[in-house]
Chains A and B, each alone.
Chain A
Amino acid sequence: ETGVTQSPTHLIKTRGQQVTLRCSSQSGHNTVSWYQQALGQGPQFIFQYYREEENGRGNFPPRFSGLQFPNYSSELNVNALELDDSALYLCASSLGPTSNEQFFGPGTRLTVL
């Protein structure tokens, strides 16, 4: 059974650019949640996707958007990058939107210069 994978591992962008991060969910999982973890802080919920629809969103501006595909993989897109967007971006998949346990990937480290 393949776990949650994320790509790329590391990424460097400049302010104002756009970025796309990718996540492959664990086999059989139809729900994906994205989190932002700034240095020294805990993960902060961005949004959740269930069966290709957004199913809950945290306190993030509209320039953070996402997609979920029919195979339940997901993308996180961030437009107009700001310096404060520098963080570890974590993707987590689960069996359903009310599942007890979320399985996290290793994350993508984004640096905005």
Chain B
Amino acid sequence: DQQVKQNSPSLSVQEGRISILNCDYTNSMFDYFLWYKKYPAEGPTFLISISSIKDKNEDGRFTVFLNKSAKHLSLHIVPSQPGDSAVYFCAASEEYGNKLVFGAGTILRVKS
């Protein structure tokens, strides 16, 4: 039973354009959502998070949107850069900071 789903295994975007990565979840008890980025041979690194009391959070080129009624969140990267090419994981938890549930990841390729 996949509680967090990233339905696009990969995404290819031109440098300078917007990258939109999507994530759906089924557990209505999830209260906290995060995005992690992973380069080959490295562990995931935290990118941005949002709590369920908000619908948007921005950090530089990265913005996360949360639609609780649709149980959907998305990560927008504007403008996309070649260094953004990585695997992006969506994660969620019921307990702040504990028991993170991850999606399967989306491979983002930014072409220069």
Query: Assuming the A-B contacts A97-B98, A98-B96, are A42 and B103 also in contact, with contact meaning beta carbons closer than 8 angstroms in the complex?
Result: yes
Size class of the B contact interface (CB-based, 8 Å):
20 to 34
Q: Could you say which residues of chain B place their CB within 8 Å of the CB of A99?
A: 97
Q: Decide: B46 and A41 in contact? CB cutoff 8 A.
A: no
A106 to B104, CA, bound (A): 18
A22 to B76, CA, bound (A): 36
Please tell me which one of the listed residues A41, A56, A90 contacts residue B99 in the complex, with CB atoms under 8 A apart: A56
Q: Does B101 lie at the interface of the complex (its beta carbon under 8 Å from any beta carbon of A)? A: yes
Chain B 69-84, CB-CB to A under 8 Å as 1, else 0, gives 0000000000000000
Q: Decide: A40 and B43 in contact? CB cutoff 8 A.
A: no
* Closest-CB distance, B5 to chain A (whole angstroms): 10
Main secondary structure of the interface of A (DSSP, over half): loop
Size class of the A contact interface (CB-based, 8 Å):
20 to 34
Q: Decide: A97 and B97 in contact? CB cutoff 8 A.
A: yes
Stretch of A13-21, A43-51, A70-78, A79-87 at the chain-chain interface: A43-51
5 additional A-B pairs beyond A31-B97, A41-B104, A94-B97, beta carbons within 8 Å, are A42-B103, A45-B100, A90-B43, A99-B97, A104-B43
Chain B interface residues toward A at CB < 8 A: 4, 6, 36, 41-46, 49, 89, 91, 95-105
Chain A interface residues toward B at CB < 8 A: 4, 31, 33, 35, 40-45, 48, 55-56, 58, 90, 92, 94, 96-107
